[in-house]
Amino acid sequence: MVLKTFIKHYPGSSFPTLIETESGSKHILKMRGAGNGSISLLSEFICNKVANKLKWSVPDVDWVYIPDNFPWVFGTDEFDDIVQKSCGWNLAVEYIPNAIQADLKFIETADEDLLNSIYTLDLFFVNVDRTGKSNNLLKDDRGQIWIIDHGSLGLFQSIDITRKELFNNHIFHKMLSNKEFVYDYMLNNNKLFLEVIDLIPDSIISEGGFTKETLYKRIAERIIHLSK
């Protein structure tokens, strides 16, 4: 996919922006020139793509190309500077129209399969960014909850990958402290992760500090730790 135009900017360190591609499709763009750069895009791509392939309630992702010297047609000087730093491959997240942040009371009523998928993803990837301040869960106009924003995953950073519990600030500690969650071992699928890694541009992997081999090794080690 190739970027055609920007439509609307949303709050966030990754400068999430609604875009239209040259093929006419709409997506939420996250740029490698913003926030933590390529490592955030790599993290979100792997988490979302794997979960989406498992048919969990997570937006699909793809890669969108920003041409060199893309003309300034939108936003501020700061925004254009990030666009120019992001020429090349960037993350395109499935657009969920009319979605709003889900409140905690609504999340508490969600079915067990959804809650277990949130628990499984956040535990496996060591997600540090699903807190009371920012739960990163959306509700669409049909009432479906979508699990979003996976750019801050400890699995791909310098956080102990042997841990087997959610971070202390995770919303589940206060919201559902008396509930027992079930880890879904469908996620522990080496073949699935290999297929997803093959979909990542080499430039994104190298800028994130990995090779395909070292990236897969990190994931395979995590699978082993959570299979014991």
What pTM was computed for the model? 0.95
Distance of alpha carbon 110 from alpha carbon 137, whole angstroms: 12
Distance of alpha carbon 147 from alpha carbon 139, whole angstroms: 9
Asked whether the predicted pLDDT for residue 177 surpasses 70, the reply is: no
DSSP 45-83: HHHHHHHHHTT-S---EEEEEE-TT----SS-HHHHHHH
Q: What integer pLDDT is reported at residue 76 of this predicted model? A: 86
Quick check: helix, strand or coil at residue 118?
A: helix
Distance of alpha carbon 72 from alpha carbon 84, whole angstroms: 9
Task: Compute the CA torsion angle 148, 150, 152, 156 (nearest 10 deg).
Answer: 170
Question: Which sequence spans correspond to the domains of the chain?
Answer: 3-94, 100-225
The neighbour count for residue 158, using CB atoms within 10 Å, is: 6
Going by pLDDT thresholds of 50, 70 and 90, the confidence category of residue 139 is very high
pLDDT, tens digit (0-9, with 9 covering 90-100), for 185-220: 999 999 999 999 999 999 999 999 999 999 999 999
DSSP 21-40: ETTS-EEEEE-TTSTTTHHH
CB 127 within 8 A of CB 153: yes
Q: Which tops the pLDDT comparison, 79 or 12?
A: 79
The neighbour count for residue 162, using CB atoms within 10 Å, is: 11
Please state, rounded to an integer, the average pLDDT across all residues of the chain.
94
